[in-house]
Amino acid sequence: MMENGDVSKIFGENVFNLPTMKARLPKDIYKSLVKTISEGTKLDFEVAEVVANAMKDWAIEKGCTHYTHWFQPMTGLTAEKHDSFIQPTDDKTVIMEFSGKELVMGEPDASSFPSGGLRATFEARGYTAWDPTSFAFIKDHSLYIPTSFVSYTGEVLDKKTPLLRSEAAIDKAAKRVLALFGKNPKRVVAYVGPEQEYFLVDKKLRNQRKDLLLTGRTLFGCKPAKGQEMDDHYFGQIKERVAAFMKEVDEELWKLGVLAKTKHNEVAPAQHEIAPIFSTTNISNDHNQITMEVLKKVADHHGLYCLLHEKPYEGINGSGKHNNWSIGTSDGELLLKPGKKPEQNVQFLLFLAAVIKAVDDYQDILRVSVATAGNDHRLGANEAPPAIISLYLGDQLAAVVEQLKSGHGVKYEQGKLIETGVESLPDIQKDSTDRNRTSPFAFTGNRFEFRAPGSRQSIGGINIVLNTIVAETLTEFADKLEGCSDFPKAALDLAIQTFRDHERIIFNGNGYSDEWVEEAERRGLLNLKTTPDAMPYFKSKKSIDLFRKQGVFTQVEVETRTEIMMEEYNNTLHFEMLTMLEMAKQEILPACLKYTKFVTDDLSSKKALGLDAPKELEKAKQLTSLTEELMADIDTLDVATAAVPDADVYDTGMYYKNTVIPAMDKLRVTADTLETLVAKDYWPFPTYTELLYLV
Ligand code: ADP
Ligand code: MG
């Protein structure tokens, strides 16, 4: 616990960060490590040897006995295997050792991690490789070393390696464009600030529900009498137990060097948000994984459970993870920040055009990047952006783009000054009047907020796609503009032409409306409603060409990755289906039968006394017929379960979508109706009211 409010006293205390490195490493070693971290240069083995030793000493002083290569397999979660530092000596005692080799490379048994078709080709062997750009940290008496995870044949098996590759792609492409403006920053980086939404639920209540235990969401449950209609939870007062939980989360995160910044209640009861200050996509991805872990762990200390699922409760808002994304230079210039000077404006307009073109050209794979079974419940459900990808500019910027497109007042003066026809770009500020919560991809002042990601997703996959598609359009721009005689004019022309060519992707209206769905169709935008609809686009020729060209994935990597994502969808549905059946057969049906018997017994005794109870008879009839219906619905789902095809993952996905989900939905409706009729004492598990309000 913190003794006073000075966060700087504890910030990063469990991180092998720059000050710690500086204090513990010889000067030359420190210098070359910093160069690797800031410029991505290759690291010498001798350097690693010294760093390993210093890390070990530091970790042992802080109580560590073990180290682990911490990696991010394609499950979207993190993985770790712990080795102790002990090394036996001749006199049968031990010393604590950690070599450069052990720091740089590890060999976890990879056979249980999803690898798609790769499994056959490399026999599941893989190794982990140290990512020196993400600091090592200490948790639960182990030294955690962030690593990449790749196969022996070199194929990536994780979400970090391609993310690093996509950062390199952005760096290369953006630098080419900036060079045309006479700028040569050391690096161009992609940033992200993920806003993490989550629900809290009382742990004891959660443990009484198989669905929450096994699938992370409720598969049954009717809406509580009071939902979120009152709007009294958003930014509302934080309850004491929740506040204590949040305080501990913050402190834990600060110690781990995570820049936890904002916390508040969200729209739904028991729903909350935490957001950090943005960092590079790689660091932010690591930190978001740490954040999700800390949320879970700390909740437990407070008798709570943290639900990260995208849709834990039907009829109540789900949880997303807004991915605030931008690009900037190592000199601190944000490239999506509209400046005031015309020549800077051209640069901004060109980068803006690159994002617009990227989102339009690659709306399909951007959609895939947020496609999961859980997120299918959110997107398009009037609480989150639709499954249609579009881009929101805000009134001011949209007006600028419109004016430029019309061509009025765009003046050039050979070689130097450029009049864009717009006096000067307004200094667009993020303010609440200029925000559109219904857009999946919204400009918010100096960045774009991608609002479609689900709360449980790793932001790795999302930012791999974002970085790569923007790197691609910047590459195309650089190809066109390099060697142009009249550069500023050509750049502005290209930006304006791009606005014209991609105007269909820009939409500033209400994304939740039915009219937009029709309008989007007229515009030829994709509306990929579910994961099985979207997934095949990821392995299209266009997508493979893109990832190969930008050096992010090989063809095999794209194909296996797509297969794994599809498999994950199928597995999720499989477990939900089985859990649902188990609950229906073993808990709900017996409860309904018991309660019906209570009512019919009561009726019989009344009848014996000659009492007439027509209403109760009606209720008995209703209970009986609904219980019969429940049994029929169980049978239907049972049949569907038995008939899951032994097909390829894509056909199987379609089967889940077309056959299993409707059967699950039907069963749920019947069970939820019964919940409203059966006495509370008979109902086998906690209701929505208890789950949402007893926090
Ligand atoms: P909102 O008002 O949208 O809920 P929050 O303060 O909750 O905003 O979160 C905004 C997130 O955007 C934070 O993580 C913040 O650090 C991040 N952010 C701000 N500027 C940038 C930027 N230029 N690039 C990336 N992320 C940014
Ligand atoms: Mg927020």
Question: pLDDT for 397-409, tens place per residue?
Answer: 888 888 888 876 5
What are the phi and psi torsion angles at 313 (to 5°)? -130, 130
Residue 347 Cα to ligand 1 midpoint, Å, equals 23
Nearest ligand 1 atom to the CA of 326 is 24
DSSP 141: T
Residue 644 Cα to ligand 2 midpoint, Å, equals 41
CA-nearest of 370, 278, 254 to 8 is 254
Residue 348 Cα to ligand 2 midpoint, Å, equals 25
Residue 506 Cα to ligand 2 midpoint, Å, equals 23
Nearest ligand 1 atom to the CA of 328 is 23
Range with top average pLDDT, 127-131, 228-232, 565-569: 565-569
Residue 277 Cα to ligand 1 midpoint, Å, equals 7
Q: How far apart (Å, rounded) are the C-alpha atoms in residues 416 and 408?
A: 19
Name 474's Cβ contacts closer than 8 Å, sequence gap at least 6.
170, 173, 174, 176, 177, 351, 354
Give me the pLDDT at residue 341, please. Answer: 52
Residue where the block lists tokens 């943290």: 306
CA-nearest of 528, 371, 512, 381 to 454 is 371
- The preferred substitution site among 191, 278, 450 for testing ligand 1, maximizing ligand atoms within 8 Å of CB, is 278
Say which range, 31-45, 187-201, 500-514, has the weakest mean pLDDT: 31-45
Nearest ligand 1 atom to the CA of 192 is 25
Residue 67 pLDDT > 60: yes
Q: What value does the mean pLDDT of the chain take?
A: 91
Residue 426 pLDDT > 60: no
* Shortest-distance Cα residue to atom 16 of ligand 1: 277
**pLDDT, average across residues 301-325:** 96
**Percent of the chain surpassing pLDDT 70:** 92
Range with top average pLDDT, 34-38, 333-337, 382-386, 393-397: 333-337
- The preferred substitution site among 253, 324, 437 for testing ligand 1, maximizing ligand atoms within 8 Å of CB, is 324
Tell me the per-residue pLDDT of 440-459, one tens digit each, with 9 for 90 and over. Answer: 999 988 999 999 999 999 99
Greater model confidence, 293 or 485: 293
Nearest ligand 1 atom to the CA of 430 is 2
Give me the pLDDT at residue 119, please. Answer: 53
* Shortest-distance Cα residue to atom 17 of ligand 1: 193
Q: Kindly indicate the confidence band of residue 487, based on its pLDDT and cuts at 50, 70 and 90.
A: confident
Tell me the per-residue pLDDT of 153-208, one tens digit each, with 9 for 90 and over. Answer: 778 889 999 999 999 999 999 999 999 999 999 999 999 999 999 999 999 999 99
**pLDDT, average across residues 136-159:** 91
Q: How far apart (Å, rounded) are the C-alpha atoms in residues 189 and 326?
A: 9
- Mind giving me the DSSP string for 222-284? PPPSS-STT--STT-PPPHHHHHHHHHHHHHHHHTT--EEEEEE-SSTTEEEEEEPPEEHHHH
- The preferred substitution site among 188, 192, 195, 434 for testing ligand 1, maximizing ligand atoms within 8 Å of CB, is 195
Residue where the block lists tokens 């935490």: 274
Residue 384 pLDDT > 90: no
Give me 180's structure tokens.
């045309």
- Mind giving me the DSSP string for 637-681? HHHHHHT-----HHHHHHHIIIIIHHHHHHHHHHHHHHHHHS-GG
* Shortest-distance Cα residue to atom 1 of ligand 1: 195
Tell me the per-residue pLDDT of 525-558, one tens digit each, with 9 for 90 and over. Answer: 999 999 999 999 999 999 999 999 999 999 999 9
Residue 30 Cα to ligand 1 midpoint, Å, equals 32
Give me the pLDDT at residue 342, please. Answer: 38
| Ligand 1 pocket, residues with Cβ under 6 angstroms | 191-193, 195, 262, 275-278, 324-326, 334, 446-447
Residue 283 Cα to ligand 1 midpoint, Å, equals 15
- Which helix (H) or strand (E) covers residue 147, if one does? strand 142-151
Give me the pLDDT at residue 343, please. Answer: 43
Give me 157's structure tokens.
């098996």
Q: How far apart (Å, rounded) are the C-alpha atoms in residues 167 and 184?
A: 17
Nearest ligand 1 atom to the CA of 334 is 23
Contact predicate 278/182, CB 8 Å: no
Give me the pLDDT at residue 285, please. Answer: 98
Which runs of E-coded beta strand occur in 287-371? 304-307, 321-329
Q: pTM to 2 decimals? A: 0.94
Tell me the per-residue pLDDT of 233-245, one tens digit each, with 9 for 90 and over. Answer: 777 788 899 999 9
Residue 339 Cα to ligand 2 midpoint, Å, equals 25
Q: Kindly indicate the confidence band of residue 284, based on its pLDDT and cuts at 50, 70 and 90.
A: very high
What are the phi and psi torsion angles at 323 (to 5°)? -105, 95
Contact predicate 629/669, CB 8 Å: no
Q: How far apart (Å, rounded) are the C-alpha atoms in residues 616 and 600?
A: 9
Give me 10's structure tokens.
């504890």
**Percent of the chain surpassing pLDDT 90:** 77
Residue 433 pLDDT > 50: no
